[in-house]
Amino acid sequence: MSDYYGTYGQKVQYLSSDPPAPQTGQVWYNYTSATLKVRSTNATAVWTSAASIPMAISGMAFTGTQTAGIAYGGATPASPSPTTAVNNAYLHNGSTWTATGSLGTARYTISRFGTQTTAVAGSGAVGGSVTNTENFNGSTWTASGNVGTARDQGGGAGTQTAGIIAGGFNQAANTAITNVEIYNGSSWTATTSLPTRRTIYNCSGGPQTATITYGGYEGGPTGGPNSVLTQSFNGSTWTTLNNLNTVRRGSAGSGTTSSAWYAGGSTPSTSETEYYNGTSWAISTAMPTAWTSAGTGTGINGQIVGGANPSLTAQSFFWNGVGSAGTRTVTVS
């Protein structure tokens, strides 16, 4: 039988207080409190129901946290068709939704980033791909500098003054694109392109200089596959990381380069969820039902809003994922 030292290459430390920055998996004995402790992560991811948004909708942008989020834009069928872009926006406090200032330009599959009071709506679709950008101040939206390349379904990450849009789909050219642009709060500048053209939609996260993108659609004018690609950006170069387990697009997801999640989407439609630990993806707790085209928050403990399953829905769910590190006391009985 192997021991802790043989497995991890370090001894169980005997300390007067907990170490200031323990590594995941580190074990120590705190002799002041007479407790054996370990630094670990949550073992089980959980999906829980949240308050439904006021309207059934797909392709909505959602950014912020579970207790301070904002959802905006999206598409809903007219009666009975065609699909109609909306400019509605709603604040979420973790339990209720409240209408707030509407977008100046109705659109769907927007590249979203920022917080509840500093959200950004970049590009999107209103029949065709657009370049419109708007900034939110907590109550109203203000038009800002246009994105250089029109797109929808682009991955968005960062803050209102340091944002990034990666990839997406240009409907005029009928192709996924590799173009990447960074945002300073008022204007966009092209930067290093993605190694592979693809839509990314909600599956992007991290700050402007530590962004991760995953999944999507690699299609061109003659079609193309859904993607398993995972790639990270350090502010100047893109690095290809370990692939997703399942190819799909139109999925929900968010997180960082060290802890991210990816759920639902079209493979065709699936409820599968994957978790990224900074190195590789693993299958995690499935969504309550198969889902696609949902809006999603930007944290590792995220939220999905609206979407299709297969018809449009107003449902919302919280994702409380694997990966939040914590110090736990070991008990023996």
N residues, the chain: 333
Report the pLDDT value the prediction gives residue 268, as an integer from 0 to 100.
72
Report the pLDDT value the prediction gives residue 322, as an integer from 0 to 100.
65
- Whether residue 252 contacts residue 263, with contact meaning beta carbons closer than 8 Å, is answered with yes
Per-residue 3-state assignment (H helix, E strand, C coil) for 209-275: CCEEEECCECCECCECCEECCEEEECCCCEEECCCCCCCEECCEEEECCCCEEEECCECCEECCEEE
Report the pLDDT value the prediction gives residue 205, as an integer from 0 to 100.
87
CATH number of 64-258: 2.120.10.80
- Whether residue 232 contacts residue 238, with contact meaning beta carbons closer than 8 Å, is answered with yes
Say whether the peptide bond before residue 310 is cis (omega within 30 degrees of 0).
yes
Report the pLDDT value the prediction gives residue 114, as an integer from 0 to 100.
96
Of 241, 233, 243, 253, nearest to 301 (Cα)?
253
- The domain locations on the chain are 4-41, 64-258
Per residue of the chain (333 residues), give pLDDT as tens.
455 555 545 678 889 988 877 776 788 889 998 888 887 655 568 899 999 999 999 999 999 999 999 999 999 987 666 789 999 999 999 999 999 999 999 999 999 999 999 999 999 999 899 999 999 999 999 999 999 999 999 999 999 999 999 999 999 999 999 999 999 999 999 999 999 999 998 888 889 999 999 999 999 888 889 999 999 999 999 999 999 999 888 999 998 998 899 999 987 788 999 999 899 999 988 998 898 999 987 777 889 999 988 889 999 999 987 655 566 777 765
Give CA–CA dist 204/211, Å, rounded.
Answer: 7
Give CA–CA dist 273/265, Å, rounded.
Answer: 10
Report the pLDDT value the prediction gives residue 10, as an integer from 0 to 100.
60
Q: Long-range CB contacts (< 8 A, 24+ apart) of 131-137?
A: 132/104, 132/105, 132/107, 133/183, 133/188, 134/103, 134/104, 134/105, 135/160, 135/185, 136/70, 136/72, 136/89, 136/101
